[in-house]
Amino acid sequence: MYGQVLALASLASTSALVNAVAIEPKFYTNDISRVGSQKDIYQFLYGSAPYFSYPFNTSIPVDIPEQCEMVQVHVYARHGERYPTASTAKGIEKVWYKFGNYTEKFSGSLSFLNDEYQFPFANASNWGLLTTPDNVVNPYNPLLGSLTGSSHGEEFRERYSKLLDAHPNFTIWTSNSNRVHATSEFFIQGLGDDYHVNLETISENGTMGANSLTPISACVNWDWNTAKDKNISSTFSTQYLTDISERLNTANPGLNITNSETYNLFDWCAFEIDTRGYSDICDIFTEDELINYSYYGDLITYYDEFIGNKLAVAVGSVPTNATLTLLNTPEDELDQTVFVSFTHDTHLLQYMAGVGLFSEGKPLTGKSVDFHNEFKRSFLVQLGARVYTQKFNCKSASNTTESFVRYVVNDVVQPLDDCHNGPGFSCSLPDYNTYLKNRFEGVDFFSQCGVSQVSNTSELTFYWDYKTKNYDAPLII
């Protein structure tokens, strides 16, 4: 089965897909021709839809300038496509039960429920897990988390094979979340058989302090309700939800769907695409409604997880400073020059906040949709998202060598606003050090976050002490 899905993923069109593989009869309820047909709405689904590249290309080649040589690459990546977590799945399930108890024939955009429909989230044991051919209603779906992980590994091998071949025995790091760990394993599978990869599993528990891929777990002082506390999220109009609810209730008298239940339909839409490859639920929404939903997600994320939270830079300084230590280390003193880590969306956001990516625009407002702000959650931390840090050495006209650093976010080069005068719009390593020194002035993760309440660990060290310490945390959901 997995081999069949790999074949499907490589096909150019869904029509070719239908003709390429004999579909098992028990999966006939899936309209294979619709798989991947809703790509235009991925950007509106809160980062819960399948992976896509950052949509606004800077036109800067990801390949480094010809006079330069890649010497280090760091990857900070989110797990691939998954099932909804338990809390989200229960919200979806509540709506499903309401639909199931409706005794009339469905009309309008819900009419698809009159036909044979297989609810994709019925098995609670799958909630929160990475999607694979073995656990979804449509195993022929090429948008699965397992495939995103393996294809990422293949792409990484193709682009950075010189660094990999120089140190074919190397380590990759993952948090101990099951879906994160599974993504790292599929990534390793995508690298092929030429390398021996050691996988270190880092606990997400707050007792790890700063020595974690999830340092916010130790940030006792983090306010997860900043948007609400500042009365920002509450000012954003919910009329778009009312419009949807009224439209569904008018078409289906007696359904009585509420705005909160309607909100859950957006999650249903996104995660059904992740499992089935498409979703009829998504057809309920107009473009305006998708835009409003997306912006509301940007709004709460900006303040609850990103730069609108006063501790975002402090938490983001943890992985940023650890990466800086490696960037400043001469390559001949390192056992490997690729550093790949897997974690969750929240932690990618804080890493970008620490670095200063997408952080310079005006604060988001709840008054109305801000179409001009650079922060778009679903562009940055969609399922399978990845942030690359490239370090390369370039020779000058006088034949001297200088090191440079730059970032690639979801396949697109993103220059730092205050430091991009180097080749390929990079930042020289000395200037990068100065940039971060200024950015982290007065920033102290351990004290500002109140880490001492849960841990005595004030530094991330697993990138260099994994050979002498045991990082083998048991998996959690």
Catalytic residues: 79, 345
Q: At CA 155, angle to CA 151 and CA 157, rounded to 5?
A: 115
Contact 320, 436 (CB under 8 A): yes
Instruction: List residues bridging with 394 in a β-sheet.
Output: 68, 402
Contact 422, 66 (CB under 8 A): no
The DSSP secondary-structure symbol of 402 reads: E
Q: What is the Cα–Cα distance from 149 to 43, expressed in whole angstroms? A: 20
Report the candidate in 48, 9, 340, 384 with the shortest Cα–Cα distance to residue 183: 384
Contact 414, 55 (CB under 8 A): no
Regarding beta strands 169-175 and 196-202, do their DSSP bridges make them parallel or antiparallel, or are they unpaired? parallel
Query: Hey, how many other C-beta atoms are within 10 angstroms of the C-beta on 49?
Result: 25
Structure tokens at 223: 């306010």
Contact 73, 163 (CB under 8 A): yes
Contact 187, 181 (CB under 8 A): no
Q: What is the Cα–Cα distance from 385 to 401, expressed in whole angstroms? A: 32
